[in-house]
Amino acid sequence: MTTERRVLVHPDRPALAASVAARFLTKVIDLIEDEGEAHIVLTGGSVGTEVLRAIAQSPARNSIDWSLVHVWWGDERWLPRGDDERNETQARRALLDHVPVDERKVHPFPASDEGLDIDEAATRYADELRSHAAEGAEFPRFAITFLGVGPDGHVASLFPEREGPTVTVPGVIAVHDSPKPPAGRLSLTMPLLNSSERIWLVLTGADKAPALGLALAGASVQEVPVAGVLGTKRTVFFIDADASTDVPESLIMPTSYWTGAMDQSDWLPTRAPSGRGR
């Protein structure tokens, strides 16, 4: 089945975070009701963390049975457990410390102070993923995967002009030469990210506009890794007006402010100002 990518433009970061948080809460409630559990993949970065904080601050968070949610990460910095720069640490402070998750279902990447080298850590996380796959599957079925996007177009820790974006096997890789510190990172590969049913990319700022425009125009994955992102059901870019300047008009949907009372396929058409005369 071929899926399409769509873009939702919000007027600013707070509106974006609130909209994505409300959409997430509604969708996870439905997923648990329909399937009995939900596997979610989190991202790091300031916008991703802001979305998690908005989820934690919503009264609707109490409508979710968090004990039925599995939490994974798309990538992680190779740093000690509890380091402020780890995506896990940021997610715990923003959301996971505030909801009754089952710690047995929270699956952080290994840390640099746990007696493994980074390649062993990648293997261990892949094994952890496999141990939670449904019968007949190699990896869990990710219902929602959050991704941020860097100004260079990187997603997770798959950076341009590196080997990572072009790995063709679903799994986990060790990144030894990240152009952003720290040099050591762990990341899901593009095929594993793309096995997600829904990929929600969250990005803001004019510095992200060129990479986003190139990705949506069909740039190569090696040069602009985000160009290779495509979920099996939905791929949605949640962006602010500043990031929208190079997005093709045909891909922009009427901005949806998720009310929590709508089915996932319904949209509330409220066009946000984009600075492009729309």
Q: What is the pLDDT of residues 24-55, one digit of tens each?
A: 999 999 999 999 999 999 999 999 999 999 99
> Rounded to whole angstroms, how far apart are CA atoms 199 and 142?
9
- Give the bridge partners for 69, in sequence order: 38
Domains located in the chain, CATH noted = 5-253 (3.40.50.1360)
Residue 267, pLDDT score? 35
Residue 240, pLDDT score? 95
Mean pLDDT, all residues of the chain: 90
Query: Span 103-116, mean pLDDT?
Result: 98
- Is residue 257 pLDDT above 90, yes or no? no
Which tens digits make up the pLDDT trace of 168-226?
A: 999 999 999 999 999 999 999 999 999 999 999 999 999 999 999 999 999 999 999 99
Q: How many helices (H) and strands (E) does the chain have?
A: 6, 10
Q: For residue 111, give every residue at least 6 positions away whose Cβ sits within 8 Å of its Cβ, in sequence order, or none.
A: 79, 80, 81, 82, 83, 86
DSSP, collapsed to helix, strand or coil, labels residue 269 as strand
- Is residue 248 pLDDT above 80, yes or no? no
What band does 247 get if pLDDT is binned at 50, 70 and 90? confident
Which tens digits make up the pLDDT trace of 151-161?
A: 999 999 999 99
Tokens of 135: 């019968």
> Rounded to whole angstroms, how far apart are CA atoms 201 and 18?
14
